[in-house]
């Protein structure tokens, strides 16, 4: 997506203000932060092996991405020790507590050396001056040409890379093959018209089946319909970000999914306030035709509902006239600016994002790797579902607006609030979009 701002010097000017904003979050944060450890910075540059005898890095990893990661990180610790003589203190952080924990640590200068950072948070933390610029190190390590574009863009602020791509996932459709067959649907829908037709056929074949469970409390179920109409959620105009969610094309996408749910009867009233987790749970009961779901969820489905999993297929997100973009989300590995061991920290980043350890993480977590070479290997060996998600990932992936303010838009749940109102019939598409646009612009204006 390129650079976030044209006036790059504003980042330095804004850091004090952004840090102050982060500090405000400390007043409501209850998480205690962990600090750095180790001696002075090494000076080996981006490509060499940092000497780490007697040093220990503090590393924060988000909990739950890989449900059984203890054995994996035992391997990471051993490999890092063998390579650098340094130790690792790997701390698991729940996603639900992570933002407060980062906010507290940034404001208090007690950040870790390395951390997993969600792709939508990286611009915010970089803008606050919390993350180290990895551009030169990545280039010196000859890794800059092998980064998956969407993840690289999400970690880039004014041409500088602050987040090293680690892994990513994407959402497409899962569908019940038996339900589709009973409805006479031989080819999964590829356009809005075909999706609408599939809903009608499923309802006619079995009125007890929910054709398409549409969760209102899901930003990333909604945005592909906006993008699929040619709309945007927000755009940068000059030096400012402005909402585009109430533009005609965006409203067209919102209107389509609203009509699908309410007029065509694709979904249920309960789904209007539901989450993606609710959608997967409902689908697992065997009486839902299709859902929007992440590339990481088939393994969960196989454990929770093995019979349904066996008859599950996938198809890319239908747009108005073809495949719609879907959000490419995931995580970066970032080195924090306050780390006294940046070179050593980057050695860990390299170790975890390349080679066998990166392959193993992708296999265990069911996410796509952040390196193009590793992604190519995974695509060649993938199963039916993986290949569909991979097509969406490589040909139809899209990031959210790359601005530190987008995290605040998400924190206010602007898009889910709009969709819940629209899908429950409390607001029409245009009115819902206008309210969302105002809320979004208030965030962009610092209100």
Section 358-373 average pLDDT: 90
Query: CATH number of the domain at 9-169+328-398, please?
Result: 3.40.190.10
- Inter-residue contact 115 to 336 (CB < 8 Å): yes
Predicted pLDDT of residue 245? 99
What is the CATH T-level fold of the domain 171-327+402-444, as seen in this structure? D-Maltodextrin-Binding Protein; domain 2 (3.40.190)
Predicted pLDDT of residue 20? 40
User: Are β-strands 114-118 and 160-161 bridged in parallel, bridged antiparallel, or unpaired?
Assistant: unpaired
pTM above 0.75, yes or no: yes
Q: Where does CATH 3.40.190.10 sit in the chain?
A: 9-169+328-398, 171-327+402-444
Predicted pLDDT of residue 49? 53
The rounded distance, in Å, linking the Cα atoms of 340 and 269 is 54
Choose between 17 and 445: higher pLDDT: 445
Section 111-122 average pLDDT: 96
Predicted pLDDT of residue 214? 99
- Inter-residue contact 195 to 185 (CB < 8 Å): no
Q: Indicate the average pLDDT of the chain.
A: 89
Section 291-316 average pLDDT: 96
What share of the chain in percent tops pLDDT 90?
77
Q: Name the least confident of 34-38, 120-124, 161-165, 259-263.
A: 34-38
pLDDT one-digit tens code per residue, 174-215: 999 999 999 999 999 999 999 999 999 999 999 999 999 999
What share of the chain in percent tops pLDDT 70?
88
Residue positions counted in the chain: 447
DSSP-assigned letters across all residues of 215-273: -SS-HHHHHHHHHHTT--SEEEETTEEEE-TTSHHHHHHHHHHHHHHHTS--S-GGGGG
Cα 435 versus chain centre, distance: 25
Tell whether the model's pLDDT for residue 287 goes beyond 50: yes
Predicted pLDDT of residue 197? 99
Model confidence at 66, pLDDT cuts 50, 70, 90, reads confident
pLDDT one-digit tens code per residue, 410-429: 999 999 999 999 999 999 99
Model confidence at 364, pLDDT cuts 50, 70, 90, reads confident
Tell whether the model's pLDDT for residue 400 goes beyond 60: yes
Q: φ and ψ at 412, to 5 degrees? A: -80, -5
The rounded distance, in Å, linking the Cα atoms of 169 and 295 is 6
């Amino acid at each position: 997506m390129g650079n976030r701002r044209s006036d790059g010097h504003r980042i330095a000017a804004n850091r004090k203000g952004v840090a102050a904003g982060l500090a405000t979050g400390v007043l409501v944060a209850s998480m205690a932060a962990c600090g750095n450890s180790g001696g002075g910075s090494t000076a080996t540059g981006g490509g060499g092996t940092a000497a780490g005898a007697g040093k220990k890095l503090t590393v924060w990893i988000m909990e739950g991405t890989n449900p059984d990661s203890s054995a994996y990180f035992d391997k990471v610790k051993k490999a890092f020790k063998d390579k650098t003589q340094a130790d690792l203190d790997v701390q698991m952080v729940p996603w639900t507590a992570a933002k407060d924990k980062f906010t507290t640590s940034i404001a208090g200068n007690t950040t870790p050396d390395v951390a997993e950072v969600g792709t939508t948070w990286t611009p915010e933390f970089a803008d606050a001056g919390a993350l180290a610029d990895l551009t030169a190190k990545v280039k010196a390590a000859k890794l800059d040409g092998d980064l998956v574009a969407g993840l690289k863009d999400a970690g880039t602020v004014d041409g500088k890379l602050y987040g090293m791509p680690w892994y990513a996932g994407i959402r497409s459709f899962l569908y019940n093959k038996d339900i589709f067959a009973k409805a006479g649907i031989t080819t999964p829908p590829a356009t809005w018209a075909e999706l609408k037709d599939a809903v009608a056929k499923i309802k006619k074949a079995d009125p007890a089946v929910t054709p398409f469970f549409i969760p209102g409390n899901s930003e990333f179920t909604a945005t592909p319909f906006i993008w699929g109409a040619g709309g945007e959620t927000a755009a940068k105009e000059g030096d400012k970000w402005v909402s585009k969610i109430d533009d005609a094309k965006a409203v067209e996408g919102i209107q389509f999914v609203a009509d699908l749910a309410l007029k065509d009867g694709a979904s249920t009233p309960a789904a209007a306030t539901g989450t993606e987790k609710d959608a997967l749970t409902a689908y697992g009961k065997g009486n839902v035709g299709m859902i929007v779901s992440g590339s990481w969820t088939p393994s969960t489905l196989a454990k929770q509902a093995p019979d349904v999993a066996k008859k599950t297929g996938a198809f890319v997100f239908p747009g108005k006239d073809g495949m719609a973009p879907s959000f490419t989300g995931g995580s970066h590995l970032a080195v924090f600016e306050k780390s006294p061991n940046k070179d050593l920290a980057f050695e860990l980043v390299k170790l975890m994002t390349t080679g066998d350890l990166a392959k193993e993480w992708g296999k265990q977590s069911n996410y796509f790797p952040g390196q193009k070479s590793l992604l190519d290997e995974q695509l060649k060996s993938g199963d039916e579902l993986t290949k569909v998600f991979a097509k969406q990932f490589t040909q139809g992936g899209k990031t959210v607006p790359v601005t530190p303010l987008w995290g605040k838009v998400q924190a206010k749940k602007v898009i889910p609030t709009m969709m819940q109102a629209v899908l429950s019939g409390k607001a029409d598409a245009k009115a819902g979009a206008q309210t969302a646009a105002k809320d979004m612009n208030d965030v962009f204006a610092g209100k």
